[in-house]
A and B are shown apart, each in its own frame.
Chain A
Amino acid sequence: MTSAYTSRPQGSRLADLLAAHAQLLSIAGFFLIMVVIFSIASPVFLSTGNILNLVRQIAPILIVAVAMTFVITTGGIDLSVGSVVALINASAAIVLQMGLPWPIAVIGLLLLGAAIGAIQGWFIAYQGIQAFIVTLAGLSALRGIALLMTEGFSIPISTDLGFVAIGREWLLGVPVPTWIAFLIVAAGFLTFWGTRFGRYVTAIGANQEAARRSGISTKQILLWVYVLTGLASALAGIIIAARLGSGSSNAAVGFELEVIAAVVLGGTSLMGGRGSIAGTVLGALTIGVIGNGLILSHVSPFFTQIVTGSIILLAVWLNARVFSRLASGARRKT
């Protein structure tokens, strides 16, 4: 049987739009469900005080997760972020105790974080060693350095210093760490979505050789994404030191896993080529809400890790199996 020619209908725009953002919608839905459950379980969950507390608490995760989104979108991983946080955290307390003016200390520590990222990035981009291996080595060695420097003790930071304002001060009714996180998220979003750098990060994750053949300096871009995670981890380490008023080599244990979980929950593909800063923000918020909500619901703190782990698996499973199948028949790579 033959049919008379008609031009092929384009299909619904809305369906295309939903398909393109299925992952984002699913994590947004998941986040809202968590909020509803915990607001029923605990009356104080939705109070302004608790919400501000929550967004202050997750600021370090949010900041590092934004940078980690770039790394994972290239198809890489940075396992060393927790150890960089600890190293910077401990170093902050040490240099402040030595009497270094705090603005100089902050700049120096940020540069140190960036330099650590650059060294790891050089091994990954220019020496072709797998990111997993390089940053696993970083995870071990950098916390080791922090332990060596502090000999395992927690070092106090004088609250007379302006430094602690970074973690404790409020601005226009919102904690400073939240403002910092907000600025990082905005900058990360614009860079990822709108600039050549963001475009090339995606291109490298999708097909590194194709990106190179298109004249992109893939090695340089790869090195830079690890500089970003180093820098973001340093910032997180400074914020944590300022909030707690102390520096410790035991800060941020397991931090890298929370950060990676936030990024993956947000729909960024571990295979590279597909990432979303908006998704990462929702992922970080979801992890923050689960931790905070379970405590407010008087669940044993030991349960938090079990529940967090299960929910991550459930959410990623829903994402990978259910939503993406609904979303697209023709997509080659999920």
Chain B
Amino acid sequence: MNANQTQGAAAAAPIPRIALSGIKKRFGSVEAIRGVDLALYPGECVGLVGDNAAGKSTLTKIISGTYVPDEGTISINGEPVRFATPADARKHHIEMVYQDLSLCDTIDVAGNLYLGREPMNGIFLDRKAMRDGARAMLERLEIKIPNLDALVAQLSGGQRQSIAIARAAAFDPQVLIMDEPTSALAVKEVEAVLDLINRVKAKGVTVVLITHRLQDLFNVCDRITVMYEGLKVAERKIADTDLTDLVSLIVGKGHGMGGHA
């Protein structure tokens, strides 16, 4: 499935849900992102792969407003935007599952799921609504957590990761970014996450998936973007590539960039 099909008949040249152009980001003397263009369309899943330190996480954190790029522009549905904080990106329905999960260990499960958008009852937190909502969210994702009053610190690595995923997926995102969402999950839970990606895609959500489990990409992605040392070096439709091709691109053989590195 490619972008033209999902966009429908309305536009001949579809407008990307989110488009990056000429993005650069520097940390001290290291140029982490050296000018990347990327267009993401509604209802597609794009796999972002690359070696460690290729700039995958940095690029996705720029989309989610966590980092502000030094150069380049971002536009959403054709309108240029500027994200100064993650709150700005959240307002545009961009949600992200961070690699470090970004959970607050000393807050309970429901509190973490609703962090930053707590339901209120007057000036007080509506704890009942939070708990009921949390239970519903977790049930939809088939996540079993017996005690919603438990602090996140008391949960297992897989449960913590599930909570981070549920939090990003539950609030009707338009762009859902997942940075290594399955690293701590068991087989069954990984299947549930891949199912989730396919479900939200069908609803028109744009998904960006970073993972080292390359076989997963072939289950859910429409396109794969390969990054190498801060550059986007290749873009492949899923039908035009295979594991061997991807691996050689990731290690820097297939695109002629690896030689002088």
**Chain A residues packing against B (C-beta within 8 Å):** 8, 10, 16, 190, 194-196, 199, 202-203, 205-207, 209-217, 273-274, 328, 330-333
Contacts and interface: CB of A to CB of B under 8 A. Distances in A.
A156 to B, nearest CB: 43
Nearest to A190: B124
Contacts of B96: 213
Nearest to A331: B153
B118 A206 contact: no
A273 B124 contact: no
Sorted from nearest, which 5 A-B pairs have the closest CB atoms? A214-B116, A215-B87, A206-B104, A210-B102, A273-B106
B105 interface: yes
Chain B facing A: main interface SS: loop
A331 B154 contact: yes
Nearest to B152: A206
Interface string B133-159: 000000000000011010101100000
A10 B111 CA distance: 21
B117 A215 contact: yes
A216 B114 CA distance: 12
B16 interface: no
A206 B147 CA distance: 20
Given A194-B124, A194-B125, A331-B154, A213 B105 contact: no
B86 interface: yes
B107 interface: yes
Contacts of B123: 194-195
A10 B145 CA distance: 11
B129 to A, nearest CB: 14
B64 interface: yes
Nearest to B156: A330
Given A16-B147, A195-B125, A199-B111, A217 B104 contact: no
A211 B115 contact: yes
A14 B117 CA distance: 31
8 contacts: A8-B146, A195-B123, A205-B106, A212-B85, A213-B66, A215-B87, A217-B85, A273-B106
A330 B147 CA distance: 14
A206 B153 CA distance: 10
Given A199-B107, A203-B107, A207-B104, A213 B86 contact: yes
A211 B104 contact: yes
Contacts of A194: 123-125
Given A205-B106, A210-B98, A211-B104, 14 more contacts: A195-B124, A203-B104, A206-B104, A206-B105, A206-B106, A207-B104, A207-B105, A212-B86, A213-B66, A213-B96, A214-B116, A217-B87, A273-B105, A333-B153
Contacts of A203: 104, 107, 115
B104 A202 contact: yes
B125 A206 contact: no
B234 interface: no
A194 B66 CA distance: 28
Given A10-B147, A333-B153, A215 B106 contact: no
Contacts of A8: 146
Contact of B103 (A16, A202, A207, A216): A207
A282 B64 CA distance: 43
B90 A215 contact: yes
Nearest to B150: A16
B106 A202 contact: yes
A160 B49 CA distance: 78
A215 B154 CA distance: 25
A217 to B, nearest CB: 7
Nearest to B154: A330
B120 interface: yes
Given A274-B106, A332-B105, A332-B153, A213 B118 contact: no
A10 B146 contact: yes
A207 B117 CA distance: 17
B154 A328 contact: yes
Contacts of B64: 213
A213 B106 contact: no
A331 B155 CA distance: 9
Interface in B147-189: 147, 149, 151, 153-154
Contacts of A206: 104-107
B50 to A, nearest CB: 22
B146 A215 contact: no
Contact of B116 (A205, A215, A330): A215
A241 B117 CA distance: 43
Contact of B104 (A190, A195, A273, A330): A273
Contacts of A209: 102
A193 B85 CA distance: 27
